[in-house]
Amino acid sequence: MHKPGLFLLLTVFLFSTRIFSQPWFTEDVDYHGHCKAHFFNYDNQDGGVRGGTYEQNPLLHNYNVSFYKLDVHVEPDNQHIEGTVTVKAKVSSPLLDTLVFELKHNMNVYEVLINDSGCNYDRSGNEIHIYPDEPLHAGTYFKVQIIYSGSPVSGGFFSGMHTGITPYGEPVMWTLSEPVNARQWWPCKQVLEDKADSAHVFITTSHQYMAASNGLLTNIVRLPDNKVRYEWRSNYPIAYYLISLAVTKYREYNFYAPLSCPEDSVFVQNFVYDHPEALPTYQDDIDRTKDFMALFSQLYGDYPFSSEKYGHAMAPMGGGMEHQTISTMSSFGYNLTSHELAHHWFGNNVTCATWNDIWINEGFATYSEYLALQHLEGQDYADSWMQNVHNSVTSAPDGSVYIPYSETTSVWRIFNGRLSYRKGASILHLLRFEINHDELFFEIMKEFQYRFKDSVATGDDFRKVVDDLTNQNWEWFFEQWYYGEGHPDFKILWFQENDSVYINMSQQGSAGNPGFFKTSAEFQFISSEKDSIVRLFQSENNQKFAFYFPYEISELVFDPYGWLFKEYETEVLIPGQISHSKIFVYPNPFSTYIYIEVDHNYEGGTYCVDVFNLKGQKIHSETVSISGGKIQSGGWGNGLYIIRVSDKHGDSFYKKLVKAL
């Protein structure tokens, strides 16, 4: 889902050498969420949007849905729905004597059938309790039909059913069931992990209107009283909240979009407002779907619902929602259109298993906006997008991408644009940077799709795919970036002496959890003779690095390609501030031993001696006494080394030595 917003691009002010990666920036983006199905739910109440919780009835988990059929009658000029919902399912408990479905208490139920026979039922709050004549045993298949009607409560973005007016003055009706508002307009089971194997949506309305829904339009039936029934069928697994309908005066604009191989394509069916100005206004933007479809099919694997369709149905909803095979759209901006299509991989094919893990839907779809810009428009456009995203992420000091259970009572926390969307996209960008191998990164994305196709997944499930394909343990990364809060604030001290560059990195976490972020980082050395990029990994605080660079540096740039979301300041040290004359390191060249001597007038104690190779890697560390000591070079190979001697105050002396036999 995507709610478009406003980017306020303001100047980044530099105070002294401190650089804030967070100019003022606001943006409302698409908000979806996923709650732990066993415990949490959200509803519009009293016509507004607000979060609420209830303990979901455990009896909902005593059967598994295989098929939904909605056969409903609606008109876009009023908030009313009536019809029959048919559910086919299989008993998963040892013995089932009470069936539970969810439906808001203000909706009416007229009759309930089990296997085409009447049965007893009652209403309890927002549930329907159905009692078979005989208990159903494990493995038994059954069919339930619920005949109902009512006027769903409307109000706010997350209402289950909406009515409104198009920009051209026509009535329009659409649904939006995420996170758990399907029960506002049809009897259902709102459990994320229980996807139906298939779904039919039959929509009867007045003849002047068209009705769009999931899957393929298999029939249009003319009925008495100037009514018409649109019969939509889908044979792909589908989560309850992705079933939808939209009704108004539409016209179709259709084409085929290429998949990963240009010879393969998918039908794209667009329901655009039936007004002379509408299609000319949106056609060029809609046509970009072809490029997005081809790109995402190459990056993630072919579009998962290619035997049916992809499509759009317009509605004045103020954003978009990725209903399976038919995204509901207010307009067709670049980011909105790419985002909703990307959800068909991340959100529809692979759905978050809990609302805590909404990142599986929203973080991945948001990062797909960046990838679309990077591959189709150019790196400069993508960099600008990412900088704005980083500015938003660092505009507040706290908040995790993972939704803690204590915060799932708020639908707006689940669909928090700064955290679930933009920070979620940012940590995928960081993971790509840490893996440092684009082919492998996108192989991970494809493997994730393959393993969890037609199913659900958590953030930990994704991590296991990363672990397996890289043959590394990435728990540290997810603990700090996914489950942790905030962002790093770096302090970077550096100086150049002769042909060596010395960098000291310290940092603290903005929220204190974690207090330190392990991360790779890059520095660009800029000189009149040559520029160079060096990459390092900060594994501890107040870490020191040394690099060989034989040209005078005019500028040192931290994170030149903007991989990190962070705050930072840099400071250039004057080498004379360090007490070089007090410490002596020799011989140079050396073969077996390095001797350290310290002037006794130098304030001391013990000294830490670190040895670095020219890649900036620490190969040796030990402590020597106040008067100095002897370091054995062991198995070091011949070549150039940087020796650092540090006192208890952090004051350091550097010396370049050559080892030779």
Detail the DSSP E strand segments found in 363-450: none
Give the list of residues 6+ apart from residue 650 with CB closer than 8 angstroms, or none. Answer: 542
Please report the pLDDT score of residue 318 as a whole number: 87
Q: List CB contacts of 472: < 8 A, sequence separation 6 or more.
A: none
Per-residue model confidence as pLDDT tens digits over 493-503? 999 988 999 99
Q: Which residue has the tokens 């998962």?
A: 304
| Full set of structural domains in the chain with CATH | 54-152+160-247 (2.60.40.1730), 488-574 (2.60.40.1910), 578-659 (2.60.40.3080)
Q: Are 188 and 238 in contact (CB under 8 A)?
A: no
Report the alpha-carbon angle 360-361-362, nearest 5: 110
pLDDT of residue 582: 62
Least Cα distance to 294 among 253, 262, 254 occurs for: 262
**C-alpha–C-alpha distance, residues 106 and 151, integer Å:** 8
Residue 231's identity, in one-letter code, is E
The whole-number pLDDT of residue 237 equals 98
- pTM of the complete model: 0.83
Token pair in block for residue 199? 């779904």
Cα atoms in the 13 Å half-sphere on the side-chain side of 464 = 7
Which candidate, 394, 358, 361, 615, places its Cα nearest to that of 517? 394
**Angle in degrees, CA 284, 285, 287, rounded to 5:** 65
Q: Mind giving me the DSSP string for 479-530?
A: HHHTSS-S-EEEEEEEEEETTEEEEEEEEEESSSSSSS--EEEEEEEE-SS-
pLDDT at 8: 29
pLDDT in tens, 431-467: 999 999 999 999 999 999 999 999 999 999 999 999 9
pLDDT digits (tens, 9 = 90+) for 313-359: 999 998 999 999 999 999 999 999 999 999 999 999 999 999 999 99
Would you state the pLDDT for residue 487?
A: 98
Q: 3-class SS at 438?
A: helix
CB atoms within 10 A of CB 619: 15
C-alpha–C-alpha distance, residues 270 and 40, integer Å: 35
User: 208-227 in b/e burial notation, b at 16+ Cβ within 10 A?
Assistant: ebbbbbbbbbeeeeeeeeee
Residue 574 has what pLDDT? 62
Stretches in the chain below the pLDDT threshold 70: 3-55, 155, 574-582, 599-605, 626-627, 648-650, 661
Tell me the Cα Rg of the chain. Answer: 30
